[in-house]
Structure 1
Amino acid sequence: MRIKLLTYRLTASSLVEVIVALVILLFLFFIVIEFFTSVGQSSATTGKLSAAGALNEYIYHTETQKTFTTAKEEINGWLVSREVQSHPSGDSLATIVYTVYTNDSLYTPLLTRNKITSIKQ
């Protein structure tokens, strides 16, 4: 009984195929990394848009209900405040400073909008 030993030879074409496959894998890896970084950047923009929407909603409710007092409230998960200051040009005008704060533990101002409003009743 004779045992045949199989011998394998590494040919040049298989080495080239491996190198091409690695280059393709690296190319795909960098495309995936670029995709994830762009998604991460867009989530920050989405957060600012959500905060701006909450601020616009707060300004609308303040003006329709004519509640011109200094207050802090939470709207759509955002801490929003308004600070009423007297306007230097007249008694019936007020400057209202609307501010949206970040959702972290520091509550730093994210967006601020100033509005001059007539407070005649």
Structure 2
Amino acid sequence: MSTFDALFFHFFQYYKSKKSKKTNSIATFYLTLLQSSLLLLLGVFFAGFFKQMHVQTMSSVKAWTLFGLVVIFLYFKNWIQYSGKKRKVLNAKVLKNRKLHYNIWLLWLLPVVILGLTYVLYQAT
């Protein structure tokens, strides 16, 4: 089980008692937000690196379009992966092995910190 699976199931377990009908949507949204913010951080890093190396790879419009398409792909991948039988099997494994102990506020703060770091890196380039 990957780190993203563990984070998904932590959100799933936390919100299951509070918002039972929207639990899967909230967990999928969080996972997509986290993955897309990490992808944005990587993209800004490599854009700055290529700019320093004077390598012209693609225009910024094409890069933002590619980022948008990848985010849409990530959302649908997560939606398909965590809405079916695989989610039930992995959820049973998580519940059987251990209870996850993460602070939910720190997990919600993680994408915000990553986006802040991305902004700082973007300003540095």
Structure that is richer in strand per residue: 1
Larger-gyration structure (1/2):
1
TM range (shorter): 0.3 to 0.5
TM-score normalised over the length of structure 1 = 0.32
TM-score normalised over the length of structure 2 = 0.32
Q: Which has the higher contact order (CA 8 A, sep 6+)?
A: 2
Structure that is richer in helix per residue: 2
